Amino acid sequence: MAAVTTAPARAEPNLLIRIASRPTALAGLIVVTVIILLSVLAPLIAPYAPSQLAVRDRLQGPGMAHLMGTDELGRDVFTRVLYSGRTSLTVGFAVVVFASAIGVTLGLVAGFFRRFDAPVSRLIDAMMAFPDILLAIALVAALGPSAANVVIALGIVYAPRLARVVRASTLVIRELPYVEAARALGVPTPVILVRHVLRNVVSPLLVQATFIFANAILAEAGLSFLGVGISPDIPTWGTMISVGRQFLDQAPWIMWFPGGAIILTVLSLQLLGDGLRDFLDPRLAKDV
Amino acid sequence: MSAPEAPLLDVRGLTKTFVGRNGRTVHAVSDVSFSVRRGTTVGLVGESGSGKTTAGRSVLRLIEPSGGKAVFDGVDLFSLSEREMKAYRKRLQIIFQDPFSSLNPRMRIDAILSEALDAADFARGAARRERIAELLAIVGLSPDHARRFPHEFSGGQRQRIGIARALAVEPEFIVADEPVSALDVSVQAQVLNLLGDLQKRFSLSILFIAHDLSVVEYLCDDVVVMYLGRVMESGPSRKVYANPRHPYTRALLATAPVPDPTRRKARVPLMGDIPSPINPPSGCVFRTRCPMAIEACAQAIPPVEDLGGNHHVACIRHAELA
């Protein structure tokens, strides 16, 4: 009880309760949470080490000893799916952070300072004109394949979407009286940008970030599958599928389970994002 | 030490033009002059689109004026650089029309007031908490309201918070931009009384922007009537109300509800809408809706004539209205 009363009352005090009232969003939240927990706790849960070879047990189907079977080198697929989740989720999260850093900066600048709006907006339009995966492939090819470069490439690919959302909201907030009040008080512009504009852009930003998290996981898998992403030695869901593809006839489970993990993660993130959008996006809110 | 008659704020020839998207010029405010004496309230009245809000914001340089002067305590605010203007910011404050968008929804009331106190370099800590409680008390709120968010308040309460924010920096001059027109009628009177009390208590000078003359009559020492970016008539409230000399002022007064049925005059309602400020009518801007317009009205912009006692009017036929 004491914890409840001391907890600060937020502007929207019970977002979690509101998410819980919507079954699809709640399902998304639960599955995402479980997947994150499984990945974080992988060393405790996994029955084997991720690169522990067992040549005699190679290409075994799912069973009691190996829940999801073994791969071409006899490594436990369940263990590797768990460990892959760590990389895939980390890459996805890093992409969100990196894309937000670029996108929020561009969006705030374009939305708040009239004279930068045209050049920044045209840059954003130009970047949006490229097909996502093609631009990512080109960037990774230029930078060299590594986890860090995949994050940079996907961050650049997704930044314009965030920039658009932030710009649109900034254009509205810039004209609001509370921003004028701050200017009338002589509050420095950078402080106004953070305290008054950015703080009120957080909701639509959070919604976009959820979708970008899902897209980034998918894109990372795509890049790894195509061989222009993370090195095949590092287990990610994408690299597992890429390798498993060669044994599709004999051992389809090598692909099934990481594939299923991707589908489940992306689907639940999308459901969560849809729910968040209904609650947080002012353009869709009917009564705020 | 300035002479006792020198007004706190003297606006001369204020002009603001916007260039629209298609390159056409919008004449929002043209050659507006008025002055605000220390400790008095000046009402700036006009319909929507008359440029009264633009004029008010230009004085504070929330909108950059295109021309004119605004001499505040001996210094032309329009000639200052952005940096020099900062020093003047806390001497001139603003109260907004919409109490719902004038407070950042993500900031608690104490944070909102604290931002204003930061601007005045007020000390942090216990002294600041005390000052916040004091400010809330001044505007008739309770100190425990400090930890709440704006959405927990009614429109009238929010307007009081907006007033507390403006007062936090101890300004000499406040632009009140239609501070009660978004409120319920029952709350309007409370907020107007509060403003009147605060003005006496802190000897504030107020530029009170409003769209109806009845609110202004109650509160203002002087009144300035604007139409399509220009001043039609200005002068002491008493004189303007008793003896309006401009047809537009007459029309505005005729539309204001009068509580005394025996005082009711024949109404001369204004027909049509305010013309576009992109292409204002030649000569007198009001002639297209003026019941007294003659051909000469289209020829030249009517000069501002002094009727004595600080009463000014811009109408070539004002003598016939006497």
**DSSP character at residue B223:** E
List C-alpha distances in Å: B284 to B3, B15, B302, B315. Answer: 36, 17, 6, 8
List C-alpha distances in Å: A82 to A43, A64, A232. Answer: 9, 17, 16
Q: How far does the CA of residue A72 sit from the closest CA of chain B (Å)?
A: 55
Instruction: For A172, name the nearest residue in chain B, comparing CA atoms only.
Output: B101
Name the residue with tokens 């960037």: A139
With 60 as the cut, is the pLDDT of residue B2 above it? no
Q: List the CATH number of the domain containing B235.
A: 3.40.50.300
| Helix or strand holding residue B54 (H, E) | helix B52-59
Report CB contact under 8 Å: B89, A182. Answer: no
Domain enclosing residue B26, as ranges = 9-91+171-243
Structure confidence at residue A3 as a pLDDT band (50, 70, 90): very low
Residue B261 resides in a domain:
no
In this structure, chain A runs to a length of 288
Tens-place pLDDT, residues B173-229 = 999 999 998 899 889 999 999 999 999 999 999 999 998 788 888 889 999 999 999
Q: What is the pLDDT of residue B142?
A: 95
> What is the set of domains in chain A, with CATH numbers?
23-52+63-280 (1.10.3720.10)
Count of domains for chain B: 1
Q: How far does the CA of residue A177 sit from the closest CA of chain B (Å)?
A: 5
Residue B140 resides in a domain:
no
Handedness of CA B36, B42, B47, B52 (dihedral sign): positive
Q: How far does the CA of residue B236 sit from the closest CA of chain A (Å)?
A: 29
Residue B156 resides in a domain:
no
Residue B277 resides in a domain:
no
Q: What is the pLDDT of residue A2?
A: 36
List C-alpha distances in Å: A232 to A141, A147, A239. Answer: 16, 11, 5
- Chain A CB contacts of B106 under 8 Å are 11, 199-200
Nearest CB to A185; choose among B89, B149, B151:
B89
- Three-state secondary structure along A139-192? HHHHHCCCHHHHHHHHHHHHHHHHHHHHHHHHHHHHCCHHHHHHHHCCCCHHHH
Cβ atoms of B316 and B302 within 8 Å: the answer is yes
In this structure, chain B runs to a length of 322
The whole-angstrom separation of Cα B268 and Cα B317 is 17
Q: What is the pLDDT of residue B269?
A: 67
Residue B74 resides in a domain:
yes
Contact with chain B for residue A4, Cβ under 8 A: no
Report CB contact under 8 Å: A200, B106. Answer: yes
- Nearest Cα to B135, choosing from B107, B157, B167, B111? B167
- Chain B CB contacts of A184 under 8 Å are 60, 62, 89, 92-94
Q: How far does the CA of residue B106 sit from the closest CA of chain A (Å)?
A: 6
Among B108, B112, B115, most A C-beta atoms within 10 A, so best to mutate, is B115
Residue B54 resides in a domain:
yes
Report CB contact under 8 Å: B101, A181. Answer: no
Quick one: residue B121, left, alpha or beta (phi over 0 = left, psi -120 to 50 = alpha)? left
Structure confidence at residue B4 as a pLDDT band (50, 70, 90): low
pLDDT (mean) for B249-257: 81
B322 vs B147: which has the higher pLDDT: B147
Least-confidence region, from A132-136, A222-226, B17-21: B17-21
pTM of the model: 0.84
Cβ atoms of B179 and B219 within 8 Å: the answer is no
The whole-angstrom separation of Cα B231 and Cα B301 is 11
Report CB contact under 8 Å: B149, A183. Answer: no
Q: Mean pLDDT for chain B?
A: 90
Structure confidence at residue B234 as a pLDDT band (50, 70, 90): very high
Cα-based torsion angle of the residue sequence B272, B274, B279, B281 in order, rounded to the nearest 10 degrees? 70
* β-pair partners for B177: B209
Residue B37 resides in a domain:
yes
Residue B311 resides in a domain:
no
- Nearest Cα to B14, choosing from B57, B49, B47, B43? B57
Structure confidence at residue A116 as a pLDDT band (50, 70, 90): very high
Instruction: For B177, name the nearest residue in chain A, comparing CA atoms only.
Output: A177
